[in-house]
Chains A and B, each alone.
Chain A
Amino acid sequence: MTKPLVAIRSVSKSFGEFQALKNVSLDVWPGEVMCLIGASGSGKTTLLRCINQLTTIDAGGIWLDGELLGVREHGGRLHRLSEQQIGRQRLKTGMVFQRFNLFPHKTALENITEGPTQVQGRKADEVRAEALELLRRVGLAAKADSYPAQLSGGQQQRVAIARALAMKPMLMLFDEPTSALDPELVGEVLAVMKELAKSGMTMMVVTHELGFAREVADRVVYMDQGAIVEQGRASDVLGAPREERTKAFLSAVI
């Protein structure tokens, strides 16, 4: 039996008084496209950020590609890993943010080549060739030398996706990738994500785009108040939800 790419076991996280994650457990399989849906504050973004350790968990464990994240076990206790080790673990994931977070002082091409050349120490010309290929893949080959301020929101987000892919991650994390976009620009980003899903990339997508979920997701997970309420095939969760809370959420959203 193959192992899950991501194994989340009994993870909890609080921000002061507020409990964002309550004892969450979940598996993500290689090649799977998973969509996480739910209201704001439901914990879906927090869960995503725990996987690439932008947020540290309070309890439980997350394994990525079989490796325990953020800590190591020794003598019955957990010891935090060093900053370098955590950085290395982060290389296995790529993240696309709601507000793109492109580096404004670098061109689109430079944004993409920054990680591979600086962090992975790869050769500049090799990286440049790959970066141009990625730009072509997201439909922005002509914008290689443009600065983020010269690009539309949709174009920026596509560059951001290329930037994440340049690190050759095994898992792509999307945190509400189209929420900050004007409606007419959402389609171009979803198109890139669909192509990525088709190519076999494992993806976890926090989104409100239920149409996208229905079309592309292998599994939909509905979260509410820090816990997983319901999960299953898109057609099941979105078309015929079992739980009352799921039904209430969907009727409010659609």
Chain B
Amino acid sequence: MKPAPALAEGFPDLSGMRIAREPHWFRWLSAALIVLVLAAIARAFANGQIEWSYVGRFLTVKVILEGTVNTMVMAVLAMMLGIFLGIVVAIMRLSPNPVLKSVAAGYTWLFRGTPLILQLLLWFNLALVFPTIGIPGLWSARAVDVMTPFLAALLGLGINQGAYTSEVMRAGMLSVDVGQYEAAQAIGMGRLRALRRIVLPQAMRVVIPPLGNEFIGMVKATSLASVIQYPELLHNAENIYYANSRVIELLIVAGLWYLLVVSILTPLQMLLERRFARGTLRPAR
């Protein structure tokens, strides 16, 4: 066995030297500038024509709190409806059956292709088209009695959300390696069972970040239901400023509550992401 060759000259041993810390001048400068700009903005608002006492007074008033609760309730329920529809439609879209595929594509096209506020107005005013609704022979009712602001908001928001969620779900399911589906088939599973037990659970990991985003968007989309008289946060804040003309102050009150809700939801979404990454984030030996 030959001995290791002697190392060439001219390359000193640097192992004893430490790397000096960089002063990062530009970072300090830009940080100082940003702080100055923010301070100027804050000062402008403080000196502007805003009666902050009104903001404080109405921040925790009963109708505002009720509005916030109603916003959350609607966001959660509409999102649940949206996720349910999204899964169903995504499965239909990936089905070999051309009828199911077309229905799914048509649903997505229709509800992504029209503005949400338009859909809400249509649902709320459904009785203009169908004064009575029901199942012939079994039950009928006046559409206006059935289509309350709550139901119109739920259907409008949920069905619209389903169209977007179905695309997210479809992408998630397609992201699962086809080998997983084949392995499920190899042990005798049919298409739906394989989707339910093997593909969907794995798709969830990919699907949670965009769905979490969609939910945060939904919380704010509920404000559109104010025009169909659903008593959510914006609607109730508007009612107050219609009476006392304090437009900016009440909008700030509503804005603060929306910010609070979203700030609580964001870390919760991260916790959910981690739960669904179970089994895949642990390092392989």
Contact = CB atoms under 8 A, between A and B. Distances in A.
Taking the complex as a whole, does A directly touch B, i.e. does some CB pair lie under 8 Å apart?
A: yes
Interface of A: 52, 54, 83-84, 87-88, 90-91, 93-95, 97, 99, 101-106, 114-115, 118-120, 147-152, 163-164, 167
Contacts of B191: 83
Interface in B237-255: none
Given A103-B180, A151-B284, A87 B189 contact: yes
Interface stretch (B35-43, B153-161, B221-229, B275-283): B275-283
A167 B278 CA distance: 27
Contacts of A83: 190-191
Nearest to B196: A118
B260 interface: no
Contacts of A115: 187-189
Given A104-B279, A118-B193, A90 B185 contact: yes
Contacts of A54: 182, 185-186
Interface stretch (B85-93, B104-112, B141-149, B197-205): B197-205
A103 B186 contact: no
Contacts of B186: 52, 54, 90, 93-95, 97, 164
Contacts of A90: 185-188
B179 interface: yes
A101 B202 CA distance: 13
B279 to A, nearest CB: 4
Contacts, number: 84
Nearest to A160: B183
Given A163-B187, A164-B187, A104 B285 contact: no
Contacts of A151: 284-285
Contacts of A120: 188
The range of chain B's interface size is 20 to 34
A167 B188 CA distance: 9
B183 A97 contact: yes
Contacts of A119: 187-189, 193
B185 A150 contact: no
B36 to A, nearest CB: 49
Contacts of B278: 105
A116 to B, nearest CB: 9
A112 to B, nearest CB: 10
A149 B282 contact: yes
In this complex, which of B183, B191, B202, B281 has the most chain A Cβ atoms within 10 angstroms of its Cβ? B183
Contact of B283 (A88, A91, A149, A167): A149
Given A150-B285, A151-B285, A152-B284, A84 B182 contact: no
B180 A149 contact: no
Nearest to A94: B186
A168 to B, nearest CB: 11
23 contacts: A54-B182, A54-B185, A83-B190, A87-B185, A87-B188, A87-B189, A90-B188, A95-B183, A97-B179, A97-B182, A97-B186, A103-B198, A105-B202, A105-B279, A105-B280, A119-B187, A149-B282, A149-B284, A150-B283, A151-B285, A163-B187, A167-B187, A167-B188
Contacts of A147: 279-280, 282
B131 to A, nearest CB: 44
Interface string B248-281: 0000000000000000000000000000001111
Nearest to B198: A103
Contacts of B282: 147, 149-150
Nearest to A88: B188
> Nearest 7 CB-CB pairs, A to B?
A115-B187, A101-B183, A101-B179, A95-B186, A147-B279, A119-B188, A91-B188
Contacts of B280: 104-105, 147, 149
A148 B183 CA distance: 14
Interface in B87-131: none
A54 B191 CA distance: 12
A95 B278 CA distance: 26
A118 B185 CA distance: 12
Nearest to B202: A105
Given A147-B279, A149-B279, A151-B285, A87 B190 contact: yes
Interface string B165-201: 0000000000001011011111111110100011001
Nearest to A112: B187
A119 B279 CA distance: 23
Contacts of B283: 149-150
Nearest to A120: B188
Contacts of A97: 179, 182-183, 186
A101 B280 CA distance: 14
Contacts of B177: 101
Contacts of A152: 284-285
A174 B83 CA distance: 39
Contacts of A52: 186
